[in-house]
Structure 1
């Protein structure tokens, strides 16, 4: 008799254990509880930046020279370029990095009596960010506070060839890393269209006096795994070290082809 009672008790416990997930699921459906998402989402992208360059660049022994290269001139004189980015989001975290290499060269006539100035620049940019989601009361929007590092490398050649004086040639290169803080925003307009915005500020006199960057794009989801976006990007850096001076802004149209998994 005692054994029969124990068997009945064990049967009731087993039945309750089996029914609990079903009851919880039914309760979630009844009360409209949102589904719990787990796992991370990843994005790999190929980027294109049709950039103009405006500012002043100085090398050892030469005063800073004004450099103004339009986006069309940059494309015309582009010798090579590659840009890509990676992003991962999950558990309220954002991991982001992008890389760009480019090389341009241009010549310009200067002075009332003629003469030329030659300019060549090879550039490497690498940014690495970690972000944490900030609560916002806007549906379909994710806002992250970000912090990280930006590495910049420039190899610059300047040549001045006046008509009545001997020509001058100078070359130099400089690499540095700036701490940066900023924000990243993603907003789904609907299941197809979306907006991405990223902005940061850094340097703070540690390497650059200041560096500022901003990107704003509108995108479209072609499939669940492929999207493209189009917008504008600008990067300003004021950096000097020894005889190297770089105080310039790169800005222009920005495109991205992304693969999601």
Structure 2
């Protein structure tokens, strides 16, 4: 009789606990929802030569000609970095560069030399929206934004027939820009990034153009490096200051993704 009671008690406990167990099984599990956004921070290197004419406060234009290979001798310092966020068909991008170079330049129709020094800041901010394309593993964005440039130029002019003259000038300006940005995964390791824009339109610069094309490699899910070429052309004039020059050269990038 005692055994029968024990069996009945066991069954009763089993039936009593069954609804609770079933309730536990039907309870929704916590779901971790990803934001859908990917972020990237980079350190950039740009061996940028400088070719063009720079005029300062009434002096004849200094014809600056520094090749990307020569820039290592003339470069006094450089820092460049960028940040990118991609998600929900949107692209947010910003970059910053500070550089200082010192070199010689030819000045004026009567000959003469000049010691040329330039300190430059270039910062870009872009917003992009993805353009639907029927190409696997490729994302293409139409972009729009602003480019800020600051140039401090000093020219020590030593003409052939006249006394030496030293002039310096500092100018800052902001240009609206529009462009395209493309990312293409060749494989899960190799990729190509291309960025191009045009701007100015007489708002500040008469025109400004920039283009970057790199081939990259994903070492891990979070670390990537890339190598390519970048060029920036600006034609800006304000009073006695004229900057009509192209920077161009080898471009490298170390990216951290998260």
Output the TM-score relative to the length of structure 2.
Answer: 0.84
**Which position in structure 2 is the counterpart of 1:222?**
219
**Which position in structure 2 is the counterpart of 1:83?**
80
**Per-residue CA distance 1:187-214 (angstroms, 9 max, x = gap):** 0000000000000000010011110000
**Which position in structure 1 is the counterpart of 2:178?**
181
**Per-residue CA distance 1:84-105 (angstroms, 9 max, x = gap):** 0000001110000000000000
1:27-66 alignment to 2 at 5 Å?
38-66=35-63
1:238-249 alignment to 2 at 5 Å?
238-249=235-246
What is the alpha-carbon distance in structure 2 between the residues aligned to residue 63 and residue 109 of structure 1?
10
**Which position in structure 1 is the counterpart of 2:248?**
251
**Per-residue CA distance 1:101-135 (angstroms, 9 max, x = gap):** 00000125789x98531100000000000001010
Structure 2 unaligned spans of 5+: 1-18
SS, match of residue 153 in structure 1: strand
How far has the Cα of 1:164 moved from its partner?
3.7
**Which position in structure 2 is the counterpart of 1:137?**
134
How far has the Cα of 1:162 moved from its partner?
2.6
What is the alpha-carbon distance in structure 2 between the residues aligned to residue 155 and residue 190 of structure 1?
44
How far has the Cα of 1:39 moved from its partner?
2.0
Structure 1 unaligned spans of 5+: 1-10, 22-35
**Which position in structure 1 is the counterpart of 2:8?**
none
Give the length in aligned residue pairs: 234
**Which position in structure 2 is the counterpart of 1:147?**
144
**Per-residue CA distance 1:158-181 (angstroms, 9 max, x = gap):** 121134421121110100000000
Aligned-residue RMSD, C-alpha: 2.4
What is the alpha-carbon distance in structure 2 between the residues aligned to residue 199 and residue 164 of structure 1?
45
What is the alpha-carbon distance in structure 2 between the residues aligned to residue 131 and residue 42 of structure 1?
15
What is the alpha-carbon distance in structure 2 between the residues aligned to residue 159 and residue 114 of structure 1?
14
**Which position in structure 2 is the counterpart of 1:28?**
none
Q: Whose radius of gyration is greater, 1 or 2?
A: 2
SS, match of residue 75 in structure 1: helix
Output the TM-score relative to the length of structure 1.
Answer: 0.83
SS, match of residue 39 in structure 1: coil
